[in-house]
Structure 1
Amino acid sequence: MFAAQPNPTPGFAPSADPLPSLAQVMSGGIPSAIGKDDPIGTTASGIVKSIDAQQQHDIDTGAPKFFDNGQPMMQIVVHIATEQHDPMIPGDDGVRAVYVKGKNIGALRNASRRVARDMPHVGDRFTVTYSANGEAKKRGWNPPKLYSYELQPNAAQLADVMQEPAPAPQQPAAFQQPAQPVQPQQPVFTPAQPPVNEQQIRQLAATGRSASEIAGFLGLSVAQVESALEPES
């Protein structure tokens, strides 16, 4: 039976060359972009071939490393295609490994954010520089090496992103006046005309009052009063 293959780490681009070549295996694996004896200021640059997160291993025993709380010590491994060619490595294709761990992970994160990246992507140009030494954790220990990083995003990938159509902005809904409630029509009432009492009109006329005075007193029109005062034929 074959051993189960580890699942790829979520969030990282799958490796284009997940396994070292035969020449690399025979030569001892993929060389580091910056060797352990290289001085401060040494730099290496190349195109990202793959990027992955791996657990660190003890150099002497090869056992996986853990923190005191049981959490695994992780590192980011970036393979870059460089112009380096070691004549001592037969068939050297120039691929070099960059191991990012400890405080250097924060430096790589900041370098990615400066170019609006979440991490280095396959096809990006990746430059690493051995910039300084940190403080040794214990007396007699070697100080940790500090690196600086620079990313140049893949121009073709950025062009594809720029050509993607932007979502159409949503048009605001047209403002509509709220419908006014329909007011029920009020019935029009015509005030009833007071009844014409011809006898009363004649009695008032007999006292010498004019037609207009009688009309105002009884709430009638002058025409009604005059009509009542006309002699019967």
Structure 2
Amino acid sequence: MTTPQQQDPTADQFLMGGGGAPTAKFPSIGASISGRITEKPVVEQQRDIKDGSLKFWKDGGKMMQLVVTVQTDQRDPSIEEDDGRRRIFVKGAMKNSIADAVRAVGARGLEVGGILTVTYTHDGQKTNPAFDPPKQYSAQYIAAAVAELNTPDPTPQQQYMPQAPAPQQYAQPAPAPVPQIPGLTAEQIQAAMANPATAALLQQQQAAAAAGHAPAPAAPADVPQF
């Protein structure tokens, strides 16, 4: 019987080196991984965590999993040049939760640019005393087109602020001309104009003089002497 060979690296892994981004971890209930999908998800055969051998079902069928790489804001000091990318190995209960999340938004599958969030919510029923109970997950997915629309522009745009209209300037009315009355000073004329009784008489005489019907008005007899 031949030993299964290790899978060949992807084109990007072969070109850039390395075995891909670190594995996403869910150490305790409530742990979550969220980020934008950075490369096309791939399907591969599962491997035994102890020796790396390929895994098969009892009937000989391959045990498959989906590998999704997302860009997160996580940084692990123990990982040299950690850029925050994480690989999520989708299988079992997690696969069902992610499939439901994709269907909920009307998408046909995971795509580059979409945003995937996976959260370890609780433990399932323990069926084998030799193993831990299966982890249960919830998932949310935002399709790539929607995620692109909701991504803020990295270059802040100057917001237009409407300018308040400048206060309108109103011309001040020109002061009424002071009539010239022989025998009275300007101060006396202003005092006479301040008196309604004498002001009306002076205005009538001034209007008649301007029309040429009467000589220039003289000081009325009832104008008080100042």
- How would you bin the TM-score normalised by the shorter chain? 0.5 to 0.7
Q: Structure 1 pair 112/18, CA: closer, same or farther in 2 (3 Å)?
A: farther
1-side partners of 2:101 and 2:146: how far apart? 20
Q: Structure 1 pair 110/156, CA: closer, same or farther in 2 (3 Å)?
A: closer
1-side partners of 2:130 and 2:49: how far apart? 18
Shift in Å at residue 18 of structure 1?
Answer: 4.8
Q: Deviations over 1:177-222 (max 9, x none)?
A: xxxxxxxxxxxxxxxxxxxxxxxxxxxxxxxxxxxxxxxxxxxxxx
Q: Is 2:80 the counterpart of 1:93? A: no
Q: Is 2:109 the counterpart of 1:119? A: yes
2-side partners of 1:58 and 1:79: how far apart? 20
1:173-212 equivalences in 2 (<5 Å): none
1:50-199 equivalences in 2 (<5 Å): 50=39, 51-155=41-145
| TM-score when normalising by structure 2 | 0.56
* Letter in structure 2 aligned against 1:95: R
Counterpart position of 1:43: 32
2-side partners of 1:147 and 1:21: how far apart? 32
Is contact 1:80–1:97 with CA below 8 Å preserved after alignment? yes
Q: Structure 1 pair 71/41, CA: closer, same or farther in 2 (3 Å)?
A: same
Is contact 2:123–2:136 with CA below 8 Å preserved after alignment? yes
Q: Secondary structure at the match of 1:109?
A: helix
Question: Number of paired residues?
Answer: 143
Q: Is 2:26 the counterpart of 1:31? A: no
Q: Deviations over 1:3-43 (max 9, x none)?
A: 9x869xxxxxxx89556955x55xxx5222224xx210111
* Letter in structure 1 aligned against 2:102: S
CA RMSD of aligned residues (A): 2.9
* Letter in structure 1 aligned against 2:32: T
Max Rg structure: 1
2-side partners of 1:96 and 1:121: how far apart? 16
Is contact 1:109–1:118 with CA below 8 Å preserved after alignment? no
* Letter in structure 2 aligned against 1:34: K
* Letter in structure 1 aligned against 2:75: H
Shift in Å at residue 75 of structure 1?
Answer: 0.8
Counterpart position of 1:207: none
Tell me, which stretches of 5 or more residues in structure 1 are unaligned?
8-14, 160-233
Shift in Å at residue 45 of structure 1?
Answer: 0.8
Is contact 1:17–1:49 with CA below 8 Å preserved after alignment? no
Q: Structure 1 pair 146/157, CA: closer, same or farther in 2 (3 Å)?
A: closer
1-side partners of 2:108 and 2:148: how far apart? 14
